[in-house]
Structure formats: C-alpha cells, structure tokens
Amino acid sequence: MSLEVPPSAQPHCAVHPDVLAGGTCSRCGAFVCADCVRFPLGSERVFCVACSKRPEVDYLEAFRLEHWGRRDSWAWTVGMLTLSLLLGVFLSLASGGAPSRKEWLFSALYLASVPVGGAFFLGRPWARPALVVTPLVLALGAGVLEPAQRIHHLLSALPFMFVAVLIHRDVRNRLFFRQPVTPGALAAMWNRLRNNPIARQAFHFGLSGLLMPLLSPLAVVCGVVGLFRVKPQAHPPIGRRGQALAGIVLGVLGPLLWMLVLLPYLDQHFGLVRKD
Ligand SMILES: [Zn+2]
Ligand SMILES: [Zn+2]
C-alpha cells in the first residue's frame, strides 16, 4: 500500500469497528486491533482471533482433532478383556459336568459387565462412568452370592477400580469419547507424545545404562538423534535438548563406570582381567 490514506479511511479492526487496526492477520488478511492480535506459541506470524484457533495455526488444536474420536489403547484393552471374559465364562460353563446353581449365578453376574465393556470399546458416552462402577457392582454382587467371601471379593475389585479411575481420567481416552479437555492437559499430552520423545528415551536409556550397560549405546544413539531434532524456533517448538545431552553423557559414563568399578573388582577377586 503506497497510496496516501486520509485519516478517515485508516483501517479499523474487523471485530471492533471503532478501534484503529494495528496490523493484519497473516492468514485471512483481516485488520486486527491490539486486543484482537494473536501470537501463537512457536509461530513468528500474527493472526486474528478466529484464525489463531485453526488447526493449521494452533498445533494443539490440530493434535486434539487428530485424537478426537480415535480409539485409544485403553479402549482396545477394555475391549480385549471383555472378549476374554466372555470366552472364559463360556469355556468354564462348557467344561466339566452340569454347572451348579451358584456357577450359573456367577456366570450371569460376570456376563452383566460385557455390555459395559462392549459399549466402552464402541465409545458410547454412558460406558465411561459405567466402567468405573462395574468392578464395585461385580464385587458387591459376588458378596451377595458368597457372603463369607464378601471382604475378599471387595479387595480383589480394588485394583480394577483403581485402573478404571485412571482410564476415566486419561486425556487420550477422553478424546476418544469426544470429551472436552483443558488446554493444559492437552499441552501435557502433546509434550509427552510429540515433544522429542526420542530425547526423553535417551535420558531413560542413559539412566538404566548405569545398571545395564547394554543400554548405554542406545542412549548415545537416541541422544544424538534427539539432539538433531531440537528446534526451539519451529512451529511447534521441539525441545528436550537437556535430556538428549544427558542421555549422551550418561551413555558414555555408564560403560566407563563399569570399567572402572566392575573390572577392577573382578580382577581383585577372581584375577580374571588383564594384568598391567
Ligand atoms: Zn485471520
Ligand atoms: Zn479488535
């Protein structure tokens, strides 16, 4: 724009017509005022409010859409467990002689959880809370059938209830059920899955390598690869330089420690190692 612009024709914000614009959105070209301009994390461009929420601009939004309604590993786990429960009940009924009345009742009790597991696998919203209460309901039902074993049944249900609560709170599983998640939870999940996971792996290999030196070369390799992936200026920014470096250092230190500590020990006690 090289033409002279009279003051009355100066650009105004597309959203606030009485406020002068300070710039334009780099995606749609709309005029934006100081209140409307957005600087997305990791991007050097500026956007209007609407464009800043678009998947190609907001990587967390793109990440959310990627997992929205997509079956996660918890859903697969619940589905497979339900299937094995179903098979187990039928096999135990089919094997041996005629089932007793108690065996029939227990089978019916366990089969009652099959619709919950099936609906969970299919992503039906009601199955999310139902999965949390199912172990408790089964334990209470088993307690009614076997009053002497009531405490035992309740205690056996505890680990299942604990896992069910973990599943209920899992961000990725919430996305499979198309449940809203907070931006913080989404950012944490992105950080765990997408922010240079190989650098984090290098750090873990490096630490484990202090006890298991066979892992040390892996730590060095992952550390070098992770280090090359670090790009703080990229959109989205890729970090974990520190973990990549720590992985390399630990990966070198691990075998050194073993050579300095273990080999002299072997030498001293068994005389197995080189004589200087
Ligand atoms: Zn825009
Ligand atoms: Zn505005």
Segment 35-93, tens digit of pLDDT: 999 887 666 788 999 998 887 788 888 889 899 999 999 999 999 999 999 999 888 88
Confidence grade of residue 99 (pLDDT, cut at 50, 70, 90): confident
**Lowest-confidence region among 1-5, 125-129, 146-150, 181-185:** 1-5
Which residues constitute the domain of residue 46?
A: 1-57
In a domain, 275, yes or no: no
Distance of alpha carbon 165 from alpha carbon 133, whole angstroms: 9
Q: Given a cut of 90, is residue 263 above it in pLDDT?
A: no
In a domain, 186, yes or no: no
In a domain, 209, yes or no: yes
- Whether residue 240 contacts residue 200, with contact meaning beta carbons closer than 8 Å, is answered with yes
DSSP string, 209-235: HTT-GGGHHHHHHHHHHHHHH-BTTSS
Confidence grade of residue 233 (pLDDT, cut at 50, 70, 90): confident
Predicted pLDDT of residue 272:
61
Residue 128: name the closest of 166, 73, 81 by CA.
Answer: 166
In a domain, 52, yes or no: yes
Q: Give residue-wise pLDDT tens across range 218-230.
A: 999 999 999 999 9
d(CA 233, ligand 2 centre) in Å? 28
Helical pair 127-145 and 150-169, crossing angle rounded to 10 deg: 170
In a domain, 221, yes or no: yes
CA distances from 96 to 86, 87, 102 (A): 18, 15, 15
In a domain, 13, yes or no: yes
Asked whether residue 206 falls in the same domain as residue 170, the answer is no
d(CA 22, ligand 1 centre) in Å? 14
Confidence grade of residue 275 (pLDDT, cut at 50, 70, 90): low
Q: Given a cut of 70, is residue 259 above it in pLDDT?
A: yes
Domain count, the chain: 3
Asked whether residue 265 falls in the same domain as residue 218, the answer is yes
d(CA 58, ligand 2 centre) in Å? 20
Asked whether residue 80 falls in the same domain as residue 171, the answer is yes
Q: Is 236 helix (H, G, I), strand (E, B) or coil?
A: coil
Distance of alpha carbon 229 from alpha carbon 234, whole angstroms: 10
CA distances from 37 to 11, 29, 45, 191 (A): 14, 12, 10, 26
Asked whether residue 117 falls in the same domain as residue 201, the answer is no
Asked whether residue 79 falls in the same domain as residue 35, the answer is no
Q: Is 159 helix (H, G, I), strand (E, B) or coil?
A: helix
d(CA 34, ligand 2 centre) in Å? 7
Residue 258: what residue type?
Answer: W
In a domain, 63, yes or no: no
User: Which ligand approaches the C-alpha of residue 19 most closely?
Assistant: 2
Q: Give residue-wise pLDDT tens across range 103-155.
A: 888 889 999 999 999 999 999 999 999 999 999 999 999 999 999 999 999 99
Q: Which of 126, 146, 175 is the last residue of a domain?
A: 175
Asked whether residue 105 falls in the same domain as residue 157, the answer is yes
Asked whether residue 109 falls in the same domain as residue 35, the answer is no
The token pair at 204 is 């873990």
Percent of the chain with pLDDT over 90: 62
In a domain, 191, yes or no: no
The separation between the first and the last C-alpha atoms of the chain, rounded to the nearest angstrom, is 81
Report the DSSP beta bridge partners of residue 69: none
Asked whether residue 25 falls in the same domain as residue 102, the answer is no
